[in-house]
Amino acid sequence: MAEKIIYELGSPGRQSVDLPPLDVPSEDAGAMIPAGTRRVKPPMLPEIDELELIRHFVRLSVLNHHVEKGFYPLGSCTMKANPPVNEVLAALPGFALAHPWWPARLAQGSLRLMAELEAMLAEICGLSATTLQPAAGAHGELTGLMVVRAYHESHGNPRKRVIVPDSAHGTNPASASLVGYEIVEIKSDGDGLVDLAALERALDEDTAVFMLTNPNTLGLFERRICQIQQMVHAKGALLYMDGANMNALLGIVRPGDTGFDLVHLNLHKTFSTPHGGGGPGAGPLVVAEKLAPFLPVPRIVQAEDGSLRWDYDRPQSIGKVMTWWGNFGVLVRAYAYIRSRGARGLAQVSEAAILNANYLLALVQDRFDLPYPGPCMHEFVLSGDRQKKRGVRTLDMAKRLLDKGMHAPTIYFPLIVSEAMMIEPTETESRESVEEFARALLEVADEAEENPEFVHAAPHSTPVGRLDETRAARQPDLAFKRPKT
Ligand SMILES: *Cc1c(COP(=O)(O)O)cnc(C)c1O
């Protein structure tokens, strides 16, 4: 049934608020507005009482799937529960109303929060310095590559090439190319990991950096990371980690200890900011000591009297990468999240993320192709090749899951798995909800065998069926249409 629009509700004369009577004659008030811009007819507003109005918007709010409504295993995107207490803290007036133009002496609390968050993220990564400016993961990558370039330039040669594995997130080569580097893609080996021989062939004195995701987008840990770092560093190149999915490593492995020189994190994935629909997010960049001089300005520094201030005097800095200081509300949430978990709690986050993913994999793996066998880290990637032979594609199964009240996994990524389904249950799901999702996925596998046509026509229960997703994203029509009068 089509949703009613707001004008189809209520009845003439009904309203949600009682405004006090005008305290000036309405003709006088009208006369103050220039004639050409004055309304001749009253605006056509919906005439609806408050309860009906609230119900209308609550109904609309649950038409879309979201993590507070149901399971959301969108691999790599980490759609996990975000503790509401973070929202309360980010809304504290001292934070929410702080103006970026305030002088540092009036913003000591906010500066301290940022300085402590920088230090905590550096500790988590096993590196030395953090910038909180980048507004997203891809922006962190861009910042990182600018830092890489500045570092090599300071040694007399910016170098030419960036190496990325074929399983990398598309933002990696895109960021490298924005900074003016050529991209060299290397194939993964039969286990889905970096092919060391291919890496050896690609590496030379013109390699600026190797961008690696660990665990990679197949959800697999790069076991030979120590060898990789030796090979990369032997050529004077740097080793970058795409740490968007840090919830597999928190408190267990520090990227810096395994030889990474710089890492970006996605606070809106791992560190508990609600995300989707384009932001806001934060993609801090964490770097080794030797890269710190190149980080964006301003940096937070402590003055002799112990107070904090902004320091712009960094001659080697790449400059600013964001207006003001970053997406501050996201930083408050990350700070609250880390402090409320504590060191042990963060390790438990990763342990639970890995356990949930492996449990789910064990429940479903017999019914799907699994090109790169587990154990996995925080996510795993199935292939729908078996079902495709029955005429059911991964897209069909993803749509069918919506009928069962679940969000679909990430599909058709990473590109090296055909008919890919990239599944990340996250640490915040209970055993029961993981099992419920497994049942739903197995039902879809049954249906793909018994009734492929039905799966192919899914979804059957959502307000809209299959959309032109590219057009919906690129040319959204969100205009409020009201009936003709
Ligand atoms: C999400 C993600 C990114 C990009 O992060 P954005 O905040 O969307 O720009 C990069 N790499 C990986 C592995 C990711 O999962």
Domain ranges, ordered by start, for the chain? 2-63, 84-340, 344-473
pTM, 2 dp: 0.91
Mean pLDDT, range 96-112, rounded to an integer: 94
Residue 2 pLDDT level (bands cut at 50, 70, 90): low
Residue 271 alpha carbon to ligand 1 centre in Å: 13
Mean pLDDT, range 158-185, rounded to an integer: 97
- Report DSSP state, residue 25: -
Q: How far apart, in Å, are the Cα atoms of 199 and each of 45, 186, 235, 377?
A: 64, 7, 12, 23
- Going by alpha carbons, the residue nearest to atom 2 of ligand 1 is 244
Instruction: Pick the closest to residue 437 from 357, 354, 370 (CA basis).
Output: 357
- CATH node for 344-473: 3.90.1150.10
**pLDDT tens for each residue of 56-75:** 999 988 888 889 899 999 99
Give residue 38's pLDDT. Answer: 84
Identify any residues that bridge with 207 across adjacent strands, giving them in sequence order.
161
The number of the ligand 1 atom at minimal distance from the alpha carbon of 283 is: 7
Mutation test of ligand 1: which of 145, 164, 171, 240 has the most ligand atoms closer than 8 Å to its C-beta? 171
Report the CATH architecture of 84-340.
3-Layer(aba) Sandwich (3.40)
The number of the ligand 1 atom at minimal distance from the alpha carbon of 136 is: 7
Residue 1 alpha carbon to ligand 1 centre in Å: 37
The number of the ligand 1 atom at minimal distance from the alpha carbon of 171 is: 10
Do residues 37 and 71 make contact, with C-beta atoms less than 8 angstroms apart? Answer: no
Angle, helix 108-125 to helix 328-364, in steps of 10 degrees: 30
Mean pLDDT, range 232-247, rounded to an integer: 97
Identify any residues that bridge with 411 across adjacent strands, giving them in sequence order.
421
- Evaluate the CA torsion angle 37, 38, 39, 45 in order and state its sign: positive
> What span, in angstroms and rounded, lies between the C-alpha atoms of 281 and 136?
5
Provide the 10 A C-beta neighbour count for residue 40. 4
Ligand 1 site, CB within 6 A: 76, 136-138, 169, 171, 213, 217, 242, 244-245, 266, 281, 283
Q: Say whether the peptide bond before residue 414 is cis (omega within 30 degrees of 0).
A: yes
Q: Helix (H, G, I), strand (E, B), or coil: what is residue 228?
A: helix
Furthest C-alpha separation in the chain = 85
Residue 333 alpha carbon to ligand 1 centre in Å: 19
Please say if the pLDDT value at position 413 is more than 90.
yes
> What span, in angstroms and rounded, lies between the C-alpha atoms of 82 and 268?
10
